[in-house]
Structure 1
Amino acid sequence: MSEDQRDKLRSDTLPDDLPARPHYNPYLWAGGGMSEPVEEGFTARAGEPRQEGEPVATQEQVVEAMRDVYDPEIPVNIYDLGLIYDLTIAANGDVGVTMTLTAPACPVAGEMPGQVADRVAMVEGVGLVSVTLTWDPPWDKDRMSEDAKLALGIF
């Protein structure tokens, strides 16, 4: 089928105002299928203890680091998707994050907390990082930032 034929078929079958929708792509995942659900309380760890007297990272620096992590199925970062439920930074620079995912059977459920922990641990002034996964409360689109809703065509 030529590109022109595909464009014609698409224009004949899909309304112009249909927003882009994330989809599951089996070619992105090893084994080609969904992962097993990850249990509540799963925790990923990264980082190293900081030397006493060094400056501690700010919340803004840590949030910016989390904005570098994307769900591979959705073109919006995890922070603006509303997947981060809690962020604490201790006086010694240790960081605690509580996060969720869009679904318990998400293909990256076992990997995403580790990606977040690794990225946050790279921030200057961060010590030990723990990222704990929770399913309560369940994620919903109301947790998304206005920018994320706009990017995904959710109004």
Structure 2
Amino acid sequence: MSDTIETAKPNMETTSALPPEETERLGGEIVAALKTVFDPEIPADIYELGLIYKVDIKDDRTVDVEMTLTTPNCPAAAEMPQMVENAVASVPGVGQVNVNIVWEPAWTPDRMTDEARLVLNMW
């Protein structure tokens, strides 16, 4: 079993055997940690940009993250997964962190939250 946080617009689904209060705490702290990671070329965090597609918290506290980049040619492609892994691993109670870059579905600005749109003046 696992807890999954999937984003198009951020939301959370709880399906883990971990106690609900623990999955809620972990999920909230993982999202907060993801919001500390910024795309070096865009002044918004990767979570609000909609680059995080899925966060899966497993019963053993392993966390699998599926994310994308704004473009396959992103200059931060080599460092971004490590930045995400480090941020999520910093959350107390998280075990191993696995970050996987995916390209489907392709990222579009429609995935951004209203907060990111405000920061980027894209109204």
Task: Give the partner amino acid of 2:111.
Answer: R
Percent identity over the alignment is 47
CA distance in 1, matches of 2:75, 2:112: 20
Whole-angstrom CA distance in 2 between matches of 1:133 and 1:63? 18
Distance 2:117 2:49 in 1: 8
- Using the TM superposition, give the Cα deviation of residue 88 of structure 1 relative to its aligned residue in structure 2, in angstroms: 0.7
**TM-superposition CA deviations, 1:95-125 (whole Å, max 9, x none):** 0100000000100111101110011101101
Q: Which amino acid aligns with 1:80?
A: E
- Deviation digits for residues 26-52 of structure 1 (CA, Å, limit 9, x no counterpart): xxxxxxxxxxxxxxxxxxxxxxxxxxx
Aligned residue in 1 for 2:111: 143
User: Which of the pair has the greater relative contact order for Cα pairs under 8 Å at 6+ separation?
Assistant: 1
Name the CA distance, whole Å, in 2 between partners of 1:92 and 1:134: 24
8 Å contact from structure 2 (residues 26, 91) kept in 1: no
Give the ranges of 4+ consecutive aligned residues of structure 1 lying more than 3 Å apart after TM superposition: none
Instruction: Confirm or deny that 1:71 pairs with 2:39.
Output: yes
The one-character-per-residue Cα deviations of 1:47-90 (angstroms, maximum 9, x if unpaired) are: xxxxxxxx665211101000000001111000000000001101
Matched residues, number: 101
Return the TM-score normalized by structure 2: 0.79
Larger-Rg structure = 1
Instruction: Report the TM-score, using the length of structure 1 for normalisation.
Output: 0.63
Listed as ranges, the gaps of 5+ residues in structure 1 are 1-54
State the distance in 2 between where 1:119 and 1:150 align. 24
2:69–2:107: 8 Å Cα contact kept in structure 1? yes
Gap regions ≥5 residues in structure 2: 1-21
Measure, in 2, the Cα distance between the counterparts of 1:141 and 1:149. Answer: 9
